[in-house]
């Protein structure tokens, strides 16, 4: 099994004809993803041609809207490669069409826009991942996003991370074990899917035997996740918090990664996680080594 994405997922791409949309549609198909079409209102009625995982040409229809794409293809996942200025409209369109999962890759989405579409999504059926994230991959089955699909295969580890590059590094470090699903939730101040959402899903997934959680300085998401782990997660969890050397008041890497008035520090997050029974590495490699010890004992 997996969480949120599997081989049966039918994926559309909002912005399929743009530069990033074109490149990553090709890579998603190569990863085995069932991409069934795309959305660009200005190019509706046309098609784009790519090759699938077996090297066969696939002609993908371009639709005027997400609703039309769902009606014609049965799509249940959308990946948005839309410029920041148009992201809010694209997200609301996807929510109104009742897409099951929406992965927003776009970086630089205004926080006010994220707040508005996050609020709009409450009580509706669309799960949002992102924005400013690498998306989600269930190795050997499907990729919705930009994670390199060749890093690691299928296995017992669930991974949830704020950082794209650290997602890739952890997958590489543990490639000999493999992953049930790896999800990059994004590092913006307001995101759709949280550490806790992923932890809950991994806890319920029978194929996930252990979980790696990667956080970073800023905010209190990791502290909240620690409290959740203590109460609700029975599977072993190892953690890593990026930003131990970050100076106070500086934004580091992500829009949400800022330490202010002593809150949101890496040390504070590490202590909260360790108090919940999570083993925390000082480096990604040390974190991977901690996970290896756990997997060898299972």
Both tokens of residue 150? 């060749």
Euclidean distance between CA atoms 67 and 58, whole angstroms: 22
Considering 24, 50, 195, 254, which one is annotated as catalytic?
Answer: 254
3-state secondary structure of 240: strand
| CA nearest neighbour of 121 among 152, 97, 86, 153 | 97
DSSP 260: B
- Contacts within 8 Å (CB) and 24+ apart, 42-46: 43/17, 44/68, 46/17
> Computed from CA positions of residues 46, 70, 24, 59, in that sequence, does the dihedral angle turn out positive or negative?
negative
Which residue is associated with the tokens 């800023």? 218
| CA nearest neighbour of 132 among 210, 195, 192 | 192
Residue 254 annotated in active site: yes
User: Residue 220: what are its φ and ψ, rounded to 5°?
Assistant: -130, 20
List, by residue number, the catalytic residues: 254
């Amino acid at each position: 099994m997996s969480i949120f994405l599997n081989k049966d997922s039918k994926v559309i791409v909002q912005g399929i004809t743009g530069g990033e949309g074109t490149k990553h549609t090709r890579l998603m198909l190569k990863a085995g993803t069932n991409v069934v079409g795309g959305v660009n209102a200005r190019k509706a009625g046309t098609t784009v041609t790519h090759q699938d995982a077996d090297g066969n040409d696939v002609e993908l229809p371009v639709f005027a809207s997400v609703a039309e794409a769902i009606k014609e293809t049965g799509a249940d996942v959308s990946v948005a490669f839309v410029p920041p200025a148009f992201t809010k409209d694209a997200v609301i369109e996807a929510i109104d069409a009742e897409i099951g999962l929406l992965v927003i890759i776009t970086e630089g989405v205004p926080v006010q826009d994220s707040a508005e579409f996050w609020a709009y999504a409450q009580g509706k059926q669309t799960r949002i991942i992102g924005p400013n994230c690498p998306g989600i991959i269930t190795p050997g089955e499907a990729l919705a996003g930009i994670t390199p699909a060749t890093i690691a295969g299928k296995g017992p580890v669930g991974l949830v991370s704020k950082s794209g590059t650290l997602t890739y590094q952890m997958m590489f470090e543990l490639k000999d074990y493999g992953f049930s699903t790896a999800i990059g939730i994004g590092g913006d101040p307001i995101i759709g899917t949280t550490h806790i959402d992923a932890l809950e899903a991994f806890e319920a997934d029978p194929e996930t035997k252990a979980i790696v959680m990667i956080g970073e300085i800023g905010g209190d998401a990791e502290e909240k996740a620690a409290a959740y782990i203590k109460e609700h997660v029975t599977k072993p969890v190892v953690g890593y918090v990026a930003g131990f050397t970050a100076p106070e008041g500086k934004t580091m890497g992500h829009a949400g990664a800022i330490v202010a008035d002593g809150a949101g520090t890496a040390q504070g997050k590490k202590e909260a996680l360790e108090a919940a029974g999570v083993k925390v590495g000082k480096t990604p490699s040390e974190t991977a080594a901690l996970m290896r010890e756990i997997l060898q004992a299972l």
